[in-house]
Amino acid sequence: MAKTALELSPEEWKKYSLPKRAITPELQAHWDKAWKLIPELAKLLRQDFGAKQIQVFGSAIKIDYFSVESDIDLAAWGIPVDKFFKAILAVDEYDPAFRVDLVDPVFCSERLLKRIEEQGIDV
């Protein structure tokens, strides 16, 4: 009898993988633009909002995960609570080509914090 996805072991899951996405010139250009923008956003967060550490995570960490609709996920430590919402607006409105999601790891869920810890890249 066939198994459901929930019944598969980790070894059985390895047989299944997503098809490799083609990296088109459009995707490469969007990726390059994102990675040109990320240091600018980090500089803004440090200079204007007092961030001590910034990491990028999520789809922006690897072009294989990225799409032309992808946002940029940033985690920032050290921004005072009274400045955090202004920081969210500043990074999200910085470049109309990208939606930017900013999280404070101190106040995010355990699940999200684990994801940041596992994949975050310091910028």
Q: Are 94 and 41 in contact (CB under 8 A)?
A: yes
DSSP 47-87: HHH--SEEEEEGGGG-TTT--TT--EEEEEES--HHHHHHH
**How far apart (Å, rounded) are the C-alpha atoms in residues 55 and 51?**
11
Can you tell me which residue has the tokens 């990208």? 98
pLDDT at residue 19 in the model: 58
Percent of the chain with pLDDT over 90: 80
Domains of the chain and any CATH numbers: 23-122 (3.30.460.10)
pTM of the model: 0.82
Residue pLDDT, tens place only, 43-65? 999 999 999 999 999 999 999 99
CB 83 within 8 A of CB 50: yes
Q: First and final CA of the chain: distance in angstroms?
A: 49
The reported pLDDT for the residue numbered 7 is 74
- Secondary structure (3-state) at 101: strand
* pLDDT tens digits along 5-56: 677 777 776 676 655 678 999 999 999 999 999 999 999 999 999 999 999 9
pLDDT, one tens digit per residue, over 97-119 is 999 999 999 999 999 999 999 99
Instruction: State the Cα torsion 8-10-11-15 to the nearest 10°.
Output: 70
pLDDT of 12: 72
pLDDT at 8: 72
